[in-house]
Structure formats: structure tokens, C-alpha cells
A = this chain, B = another copy of it.
Amino acid sequence: MDIDQKAVILEINKATIILENIINHFNKYLPLDEEEKLALTSRLTERKIKRRQFLLQEGDVCKSFTYVQSGCFKMYGVDDKGVEHNLAFAVEDDWISDIGSLHKEQPSKLFIEAIEPSVVLQLSKGDLWYLYINYPKFDRNFRVIIEDKYIELQDRLLQTVSATALNRYESFINQYPQLSNRLPSTQIASYLGVTPEFLSKIKNERFKK
């Protein structure tokens, strides 16, 4: 076996290892059989994304459903004054997409931007539909995935309208302890719905106690 062949095999192994993550992801729900695994993995496109690079920009139609293999993204809207409002973060082993724009093929109001250098696996709308039509298990699995996201979102809305900024901050730290270390405070402030200045004040008061 010459050096070139070895290089090819290394590449294949690396790809296999990467795809193992998404396969394992489905093991949390209804595990895929060999045929389904192949149907899925053969349709995934791997992309490396740099810090500050966009997966989606306001006005564009969202074209794919994205699995985060490694790294971190934020999804946010920008108001009339130009202020960003973070709706969601996604780190490794999570999905991110503007589902509304993807489904209805309408221009998105949102941005999806890498906060860290990242690797993603993407499914185009057509491929996703193909999987839904030919392998009902994907209907099931994505139903459960989106139900979980719905539950999270509803919880968050309740918090947003009924709790103070301090409470929201403490809930965030409890719910996402890893994220609260990993992300800059400005991004957390934008997620909590306060200015960085006010978050700074909150942290200070919390520390004094």
C-alpha cells in the first residue's frame, strides 16, 4: 500500500468518524437501520465555517437544515435601531435552521452566524423531503426533535415575559452552564433581552451577595 492510498483511507476514516456523530444523534430517538443510515449520510454535505461567517442572512431564503458537528452558532434578528436579538444558540450535536423560511420558501428575518470556527452537515430541503417520503422514521425522529425544541422555546417565552432580568440570567446559567463560560457576555445579554451594560450590573450585584 503506497502513501497515496494510505492518505485516502485516512480521509475515509475521518469522514466516517464525523458521520458517526449524527448517526449516534439519532440513536437517542428511533435508531436508524443500515439503509436509512446510508440514505441520510449520502445526502449530507459537510462544510467548514469560519468565525463570523453566515449560514443565513436576513432576506435570503433558508435552503437547508443544518446539523452542527462542531463549533457554535447564534441565530438572531435585528431591530429597526440595528440592535441584534439572539433567539438561539446551537453547539455541537444540535440542529439549527430558520424552519419558517425553509418550509414556506419565504425570505428570512434572521441571521445565522458562526461564533466559533465550525463544521456542519447540511441537508437540502429536497433531500429532507426525500427522506420524509421514503423513510417514515425520519418523520418520527424529526417530529420528536422539533417537539423538544418547541418545549424549550415555550419555556423561554414564559421566562421572558414573567421573570426579571436577574432571574433570566440565573436560569440561563443553570440550564446552559457550559454556554455561559463559552460565550462572550455581549451574546448572553442579547439572548436574555438586556443591554451588555445592564447585564454587567446584574453580575456585579449577584457577586456582592
Which residues of A are at the interface with B, using a C-beta cutoff of 8 A?
77, 79, 83, 85, 87, 99-100, 103, 109-110, 132, 136, 139-140, 142-143, 146-147, 149-151, 153-158, 160-163, 193
Q: Which 8 A-B pairs have the closest CB atoms?
A: A143-B143, A136-B136, A100-B151, A139-B139, A79-B162, A161-B193, A139-B140, A85-B162
Tell whether, in the assembled complex, residue B85 and residue A155 are in contact, meaning their CB atoms are under 8 Å apart.
no
Q: Within 8 Å CB of A160, what residues of B?
A: 157, 160-161
Q: Within 8 Å CB of A139, what residues of B?
A: 136, 139-140, 143
Q: Within 8 Å CB of A163, what residues of B?
A: 79
Tell whether, in the assembled complex, residue A156 and residue B157 are in contact, meaning their CB atoms are under 8 Å apart.
yes
Q: Give which listed residue, B77, B142, B155, B161, contacts A158 with CB less than 8 A.
A: B77
Tell whether, in the assembled complex, residue B193 and residue A151 are in contact, meaning their CB atoms are under 8 Å apart.
no
A156 nearest in chain B by CB position = B157
In the assembled complex, the CB of A171 is this many whole angstroms from the nearest CB of chain B, namely: 12
Tell whether, in the assembled complex, residue B151 and residue A99 are in contact, meaning their CB atoms are under 8 Å apart.
yes
Q: Within 8 Å CB of A158, what residues of B?
A: 77, 85, 87, 109-110
Tell me if A's interface is mostly helix, strand, loop or mixed.
helix
A153 nearest in chain B by CB position = B153
A136 nearest in chain B by CB position = B136
Q: Give which listed residue, B110, B143, B150, B156, contacts A149 with CB less than 8 A.
A: B150
In the assembled complex, the CB of A110 is this many whole angstroms from the nearest CB of chain B, namely: 8
Tell whether, in the assembled complex, residue B150 and residue A77 are in contact, meaning their CB atoms are under 8 Å apart.
no
- Bound CA span A156–B85, Å: 13
Pairs across A and B, CB under 8 Å, 13 listed: A77-B158, A85-B161, A87-B157, A87-B158, A99-B154, A109-B158, A136-B139, A142-B143, A143-B146, A146-B146, A153-B154, A156-B157, A157-B157
- Bound CA span A153–B158, Å: 11
Q: Give which listed residue, B110, B132, B150, contacts A146 with CB less than 8 A.
A: B150
Q: Within 8 Å CB of A136, what residues of B?
A: 136, 139-140
